[in-house]
């Protein structure tokens, strides 16, 4: 058990759908992250939140919209995605500056 949970674990959506990914951390950390992991590509950082404030937006298209209502929860809202957005989306948390703990990921397929 890593202390970071993600739901759903698998998601299939059409290009016109709106869905949200949820992440929750039970470790008392003050920073949370969204990563994208595509086949044969390195893990890509998407967003970083510190104390519920977004501090990094790595040139991610606006069809991905993060939300961090409190230090334990992080959402990724998805809207009008493209097939190339199909990937594993990983959430992580940490104390600022320390090692990051990852959740199990959401496997997203966009049809």
Residues in touch with another protein (CB under 8 A): 2, 4, 31, 40-45, 48, 50, 55-56, 90, 94, 96-97, 99-105
Q: What is the DSSP letter of 14?
A: -
Nearer to another protein, 79 or 101 (CB): 101
Q: How far is the CB of 75 from another protein (least distance, A)?
A: 18
Q: How far is the CB of 103 from another protein (least distance, A)?
A: 6
Q: How far is the CB of 80 from another protein (least distance, A)?
A: 27
Q: What is the DSSP letter of 85?
A: G
CA atoms within 13 A on the CB side of 61: 9
Contact 48, 35 (CB under 8 A): no
């Amino acid at each position: 058990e890593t202390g970071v949970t993600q739901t759903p674990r698998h998601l299939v959506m059409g290009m016109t759908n709106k869905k949200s990914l949820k992440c929750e951390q039970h470790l008392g950390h003050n920073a949370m992250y969204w990563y994208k992991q595509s086949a044969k590509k390195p893990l890509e950082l998407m967003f970083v939140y510190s104390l519920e404030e977004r501090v990094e937006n790595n040139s991610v298209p606006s069809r991905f919209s993060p939300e961090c209502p409190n230090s334990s929860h992080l959402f990724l809202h998805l809207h009008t995605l493209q097939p190339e957005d199909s990937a594993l989306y990983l959430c992580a948390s940490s104390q600022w500056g320390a090692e990051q703990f990852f959740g199990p990921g959401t496997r997203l397929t966009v049809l």
